């Protein structure tokens, strides 16, 4: 879990960073709103802890800038003192939770955990068009109807859906689904893909898995 901390008060920043690192989170610290926005825009964080009053850009501007470009990283906003209007404004621009300074580290950690859990729950369901893959129950639904797959078929489809809109090679599929100990001359991937396609065809005329000649397979977000 990687956390971006945007906080200009050195004492508070060090206290939070040290505490989170003791809990085994990875923490990157930046001390102004501009840097916060730039780091946040990389999309590589699981959570943002964002102070409201910051040099260069306020916490509001950072949150809004991220949401406007489609970055959905959960945001926990930290404020010295907050009015109801500020709270509403913060929620409107995309903050997920608030904490007023000074706060106890226990409460802070509880909120961090809650926001990270929420993110994990969202990751359980992967969606491509009308296809929904539940990575917890390992079940797949197409427009609400279940696609009954064998374990290896499921693993291939989940791998393709995770890589959606990118071509994956037979070798990549073999490595990820069967592990490294496979016979490179095998046609087992093609056989399984054929079977998944057949099952999909019973439920939809759309082609979710396309063949990219000489390269491999791809699941597309806009099946035709």
Alpha-carbon distance of 155 to 173, in angstroms, equals 9
Which range of residues in 52-60, 107-115, 197-205, 216-224 is near Ca ion by CB under 5 A? Answer: 52-60
Contact between 51 and Ca ion (CB under 5 A)? yes
Alpha-carbon distance of 88 to 91, in angstroms, equals 5
Q: Which is nearer to Ca ion, 56 or 152 (CB)?
A: 56
Q: Which is nearer to Ca ion, 66 or 77 (CB)?
A: 77
Contact between 32 and Ca ion (CB under 5 A)? no
Specify the DSSP element, H or E, that contains 86: helix 84-93
Q: Which is nearer to Ca ion, 12 or 203 (CB)?
A: 12
Report the nearest approach of Ca ion to the CB of residue 94 (Å): 19
Report the nearest approach of Ca ion to the CB of residue 62 (Å): 12
Contact between 53 and Ca ion (CB under 5 A)? yes
Q: What is the DSSP string of 115-178?
A: HHHHHHHHHHEEEETTEEEETTTTEEEETTEEE---HHHHHHHHHHHHTTTS-EEHHHHIIIII
C-alpha separations of 189 from 149, 167, 176, 192 in Å: 14, 14, 11, 5
Contact between 8 and Ca ion (CB under 5 A)? yes
Report the nearest approach of Ca ion to the CB of residue 57 (Å): 12
Alpha-carbon distance of 178 to 187, in angstroms, equals 13
Q: Which is nearer to Ca ion, 76 or 147 (CB)?
A: 76
Contact residues toward Ca ion (CB under 5 A) are 8, 51, 53
């Amino acid at each position: 879990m990687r956390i971006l901390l945007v906080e200009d008060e050195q004492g508070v920043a060090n206290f939070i960073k040290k505490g989170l690192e003791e809990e085994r989170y990875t923490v990157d610290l930046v001390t102004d709103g501009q840097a916060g926005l730039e780091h946040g825009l990389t999309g590589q964080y699981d959570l943002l802890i964002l102070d409201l009053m910051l040099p260069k850009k306020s916490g509001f501007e950072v949150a809004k800038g991220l949401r406007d470009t489609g970055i959905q990283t959960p945001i926990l906003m930290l404020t010295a003192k907050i009015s109801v209007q500020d709270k509403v404004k913060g929620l409107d621009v995309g903050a997920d939770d608030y904490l007023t300074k000074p706060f106890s580290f226990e409460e802070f950690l509880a909120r961090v955990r809650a926001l990270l859990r929420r993110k994990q729950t969202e990751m359980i369901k992967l969606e491509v068009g009308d296809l929904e893959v539940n990575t917890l129950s390992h079940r797949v639904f197409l427009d609400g109807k279940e696609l009954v797959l064998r374990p290896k078929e499921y693993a291939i489809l989940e791998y393709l859906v995770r890589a959606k809109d990118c071509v994956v090679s037979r070798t990549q599929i073999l490595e990820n689904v069967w592990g490294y100990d496979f016979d490179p001359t095998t046609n087992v991937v093609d056989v399984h893909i054929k079977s998944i396609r057949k099952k999909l065809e019973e439920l939809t005329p759309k082609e979710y898995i396309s063949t990219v000649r000489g390269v491999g397979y791809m699941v597309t977000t806009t099946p035709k």
